[in-house]
């Protein structure tokens, strides 16, 4: 699982799930003493051009003219509030923070869901996602290749590239590294013109 958690943000921000619309992608990397955070977001907007209420399907047209049909699951509240011409905005957010934790303790992995649904009677929307926290042990440091090898709670070993020499000099075999990975998709609907 540690390999999955440490996928670079830039790769995931290709946004295949919302590729039907023109996207606005933003990324950021911040460094602090002992930690690095990479975060990014991608936003896409499309217009509802048709609604099949019986099958809970909507047709969306993106800024580039691409048309896509989507099925809206029963868990999405207020489907009956959707109208042709409404704007659907999808925002995908992702962040990964890796920080050095001195000391000992068990290796671990915890995952918690992120969920927020639209209120009854409001336009459909909400947020779903997850936050995964992994504590891994440093098993090797290679200053020549600027890599740190860490072993997660399931015994998987992953090599991490540490570009910053100041960060690298503070890491040694036996240290703990904590990685917190968060991803969330938020969907909102706004009335179309004249609604």
pLDDT band at residue 168 using 50, 70 and 90 as cut-offs: confident
* 80 pLDDT higher than 80: yes
Number of domains in the chain: 1
Is 155 within a domain?
A: yes
Rounded to two decimals, the pTM is 0.71
How many Cβ atoms from other residues are within 10 Å of residue 130's Cβ?
13
Residues 46 and 43: their CA atoms lie apart, in Å, by 10
* 25 pLDDT higher than 90: no
What local confidence, expressed as pLDDT, does residue 131 receive? 92
Is 32 within a domain?
A: yes
Angle value at C-alpha 151, between 147 and 152, nearest 5 degrees: 130
Is 195 within a domain?
A: no
What local confidence, expressed as pLDDT, does residue 1 receive? 29
Is 149 within a domain?
A: yes
- Give the domain extent around 96: 2-190
- Residue 142 region, left (φ>0) first, then alpha (ψ -120 to 50), else beta? beta
């Amino acid at each position: 699982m540690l390999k999955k958690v440490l996928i670079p943000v830039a790769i995931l921000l290709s946004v295949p799930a919302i590729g039907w619309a023109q996207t606005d992608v933003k990324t950021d990397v911040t460094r602090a003493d002992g930690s690095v955070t990479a975060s990014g977001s991608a936003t896409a907007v499309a217009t509802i051009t048709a609604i099949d209420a019986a099958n809970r399907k909507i047709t969306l047209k993106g800024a580039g003219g691409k048309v896509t049909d989507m099925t809206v699951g029963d868990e999405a509240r207020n489907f009956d509030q959707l109208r042709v011409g409404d704007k659907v905005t999808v925002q995908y957010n992702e962040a990964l923070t890796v920080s050095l934790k001195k000391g000992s303790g068990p290796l671990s992995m915890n995952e918690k869901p992120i969920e927020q649904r639209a209120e009854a009677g409001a336009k459909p929307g909400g947020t779903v996602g997850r936050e995964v926290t992994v504590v891994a042990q440093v098993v090797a440091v290679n200053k020549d290749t600027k890599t740190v090898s860490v072993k997660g709670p399931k015994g998987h070993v992953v090599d991490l590239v540490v570009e910053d020499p100041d960060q690298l000099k503070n890491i040694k075999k036996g240290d703990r590294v904590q990685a917190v990975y968060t991803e969330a998709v938020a969907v909102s609907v706004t009335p179309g013109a004249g609604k």
